Structure 1
């Protein structure tokens, strides 16, 4: 959960500047954590990813730097800066960094 003392509310933000790449890693930073949903930044080093999994809620991945491959129900999509994709609840999906990339992930809870 975000540190209450590190509130980002009421500030102008550049999302790509709020998280840094780390060699050989996937880094995340939760910006908003509410019962109704979450907003999390991710930074993936080249070749890193998240293996196929499901989530109980819809998730919207917005690419803010680099290039990613997101697979939904065995169909691969190449995404670039400025693009987004909705990963439906309960449908298997995976994320792979074709090269370093950052994404803003918004998950809407029902």
Structure 2
């Protein structure tokens, strides 16, 4: 059985994933050969260390605030804001407080 969100049904992204103490929780919304949509919930102090991906992605903050570093430049985002993570450019994610995000990766 897939853990993807059921198609053709209304859902509220921010309410579709819960925080877990001292953890990062992820939930796949849609997974296709052309790209993925994934929800994440970061507890305060959690993060993803600097890494690169071969594909562009759009990060949307759904709840809270996040520090997103792209190519060495720090970006402070809050709920309602988005940023593009370019392919092959190092980026990192840090939760100075709890936050939720949706990541849409486009494969090329």
Shared fold (TM-score, shorter chain, > 0.5): yes
SS at match of 1:99: coil
Matched residues in 1 for 2:30 and 2:6: separation?
9
Question: Over aligned residues, Cα RMSD in angstroms?
Answer: 1.3
Question: Structure 1 CA distance, aligned partners of 2:23 and 2:32?
Answer: 26
Query: TM-score w.r.t. structure 1 length?
Result: 0.94
Q: Which deviations, in whole Å up to 9, do the C-alpha atoms of 1:64-93 show, x marking residues without a partner?
A: 000000000010000000000000000000
- Structure 2 residues without counterparts, runs of 5 or longer: none
Following TM superposition, the consecutive aligned residue runs of length 4 or more in structure 1 with deviations greater than 2 angstroms are none
Would you say the 8 A contact 2:5–2:30 is kept in 1? no
- Quick one: structure 1 residues 7 and 19, their matched pair in 2 at CA, closer, same or farther if it must change by over 3 Å? closer
Could you tell me which runs of 5 or more consecutive residues in structure 1 were left unpaired when the two chains were aligned: none
Aligned length: 108
The residue that corresponds to 1:41 in the other structure is 39
The DSSP-based 3-state class of the residue aligned with 2:21 is coil
